[in-house]
Amino acid sequence: MKRQDLIDYLAELLRIDKFNDFCINGLQVEGKDNIDRIITGVTISRRLIAEAITQQTDAIIVHHGLFWKGDSNPLSLIGILAARVRDLMVNNINLLAYHLPLDSHPTLGNNAQIAERLGMEVKERVDIDDWIGGGLVCEQSEPVSREVFQKYIDGTLGSESRLFAFGTNFVKKVFVCSGGSSDFYRKALEHGCDTFLGGDIRESIVRLAEEAGLNFIAAGHYNTEKAGLIALGNHLIEKLNLDVHWIDIPNPV
pLDDT at site 74: 79
Domain co-membership, 149 together with 133: yes
For residues 90 and 115, membership in a common domain is answered with no
Which strands form 59-64's sheet, in the order they lie side by side? 26-29, 94-97, 59-64, 37-43, 243-246
pLDDT at 213: 98
Alpha-carbon distance 162 to 164, whole Å? 6
Whether 252 is in a domain gets the answer no
Whether 151 is covered by a domain: the verdict is yes
**241 and 167, same structural domain?**
no
Residue 251 falls inside a structural domain: no
Could you tell me if residue 78 is inside a domain?
A: yes
The whole-angstrom separation of Cα 206 and Cα 188 is 14
Is there a domain that residue 253 lies in?
no
Contact 241, 177 (CB under 8 A): no
Q: Are 184 and 177 in contact (CB under 8 A)?
A: yes
Residues 86 and 161 in one domain: no
Residues 156 and 75 in one domain: no
Q: Give a yes or no: residue 11 inside a domain.
A: yes
CATH number at residue 70: 3.40.1390.30
Q: Is 227 left (phi over 0), alpha (psi -120 to 50) or beta?
A: alpha
Shared-domain flag, residues 53 and 130:
no
Domain that holds residue 162: 107-218
Structure confidence at residue 218 (pLDDT)? 98
Report how many domains make up the chain. Answer: 2
Model pLDDT for residues 91-137, shown as the tens digit of each residue: 999 999 999 999 999 999 999 999 999 999 999 999 998 888 999 99
Q: What pLDDT, on the 0 to 100 scale, is given for residue 73?
A: 80
Residues 24 and 62 in one domain: yes
Say whether both 172 and 117 belong to one domain: yes
Task: List per-block mean pLDDT (blocks of 10 residues) for the chain, which spans 253 residues.
Answer: 98 96 96 98 98 98 95 88 98 98 97 98 94 94 97 97 98 98 97 98 98 98 98 98 98 94
User: Is the residue at 27 inside a domain?
Assistant: yes
Residues 21 and 65 in one domain: yes
